[in-house]
Structure 1
Amino acid sequence: MNKKAMWSIAVKDMKAITSNIQIWLPMLIVPFILGIVVPSALIITARAFDLTVVGNTEVIVNVIQDLPEGTLKQTLESLPSLNHQLVYFFILYGFTPFFMLIPAMASSVISANSFVGEKERKTLESLLFAPISMKTIFIGKILSAFIPAVIVTFITAILYGVVTNFIAYPMFDRIIFPNWGWVILIVWITPFLSLLVILFNVIISAKVKGYQEAYQLGGIIVLPIVGLIVSQLTGLLFLSHTVLILIGFILLFLNIILLQVASKWNDRFRLSEQQI
């Protein structure tokens, strides 16, 4: 494998991202809204008003009351008001699935443009028949999406922690973020999730004819994450540390399967028949 060529492909694609507003704008707007705007609005509202009056919080209150005995329930019960409980629960647990959505959407937007983007830019033919292996091309394409998605997720998590701690500090008189669940999420789950979405989209991108088609089909993989968000906020599935670790292993297993599928496309002539 030609590492120099691999990194050249990755760097070229990452530079192409910055010149395409259709790619980088959604990749920045979604993390900004989910990681900054929504949690900030929640905490500011909680500091000024009673959340039970402002909105329909019965479902979340029931989730908190039905939590199993343990450290989390004891911590919530020790807080001085329901507003404190709601803010603490949302910041440390309720918004957890959103940080699965961020790397998934960022990875999907970038990787859907992998091979299809080359076709639309009229550069696919020269790439396929360049004197480099298909393995080098595939890894370069994967890195070009994986690196930006992980960086965006990590930066958003840091900003999320800074903003939420700053705004919530007057309520709690201490720093409440992060906990071990967030460490597991950011370090263990998001890289595997990003890779899974990228592999899925690279395979799709290698088969379809246009970016919009690749992006729409690739978006299917976001649906299970939306299900996790609903499950977490309704109490159907609580993303405890154990559950998060298990999700990471499931993602690892799925990545191994998709790598096997992607390896079947390491044939430049088969790929050229699909795209050219």
Structure 2
Amino acid sequence: MTIAPVLSAADSKQRIADTTHELLVEADGVPDPRHQELLDEVVILNAPVARSIASRYRSKGVDPDDLEQVAYLGLVKAANGYRLDAATAFLSYAVPTIRGELKRYFRDCAWTVRPPRRVQEMQGSIAAAEPELIQRLGHVPTDEETAAALGTDAEEVAEATSIRGCFTTLSLDAPGSVDGGTNLLDTVADSEDGYDLVENVHTLTPAVATLGDRDKRILELRFRNGLTQEEIGHELGVSQMQVSRLLRNILEKLRSSLASTH
């Protein structure tokens, strides 16, 4: 029986790096579809790296699956954009590409309320640096400690950390009070048609007051009593055609009167 040797983490990474390079070399010399098949193998082989980078951006209000998809997109871009004549290894090119894709996603797609781009970019830098600082310091870094690590001012860090809630919105089903007896939806004011009615009446009253008695009577029969034009004609002793013309003239007068007051 042959026992396969157990590879160390370093050996495993080196083997992945060597295989990746071999795939990229082969892909460089063949056309599609084989070219793309080889690049797909590169992506699959290095997918754990993309997942690892995406995991560092969790707990920021974005679904983990979305983060992984964005990281995979960055890996795909890296596989397609890497040049064999570059002096750097593939992962040295891929890791910044994946991080850049994640930062762009947070900057452009993940904000509920959109702060200035300067603040968004600072938020991304803080999110990337914070895990290392926590591990090194043994506690959540202060604004001053984070600013020192990033080479910026504590005021900028404080401004960026204050908008972390912009990544998420509260569900309307979330508790609206401490006792949990209501949810946020219960505290949201409902639209009230009565307000619109009051405003419309207040606006129309001066215009209607300028109309003659017959015009007011026609408006009352049509819009208050709900009569048809034919029924109004019977009521006034005129034809339906005349009622239609009268209504059109009345409404035109009202529109003109309202337009002149605005």
- Which TM-score tier does this pair reach, normalised by the shorter chain? under 0.3
TM-score by length of 2: 0.28
Larger helix fraction of residues: 1
The structure that has the greater radius of gyration is 2
Q: Which structure has the higher relative contact order (CA within 8 Å, separation 6+)?
A: 1
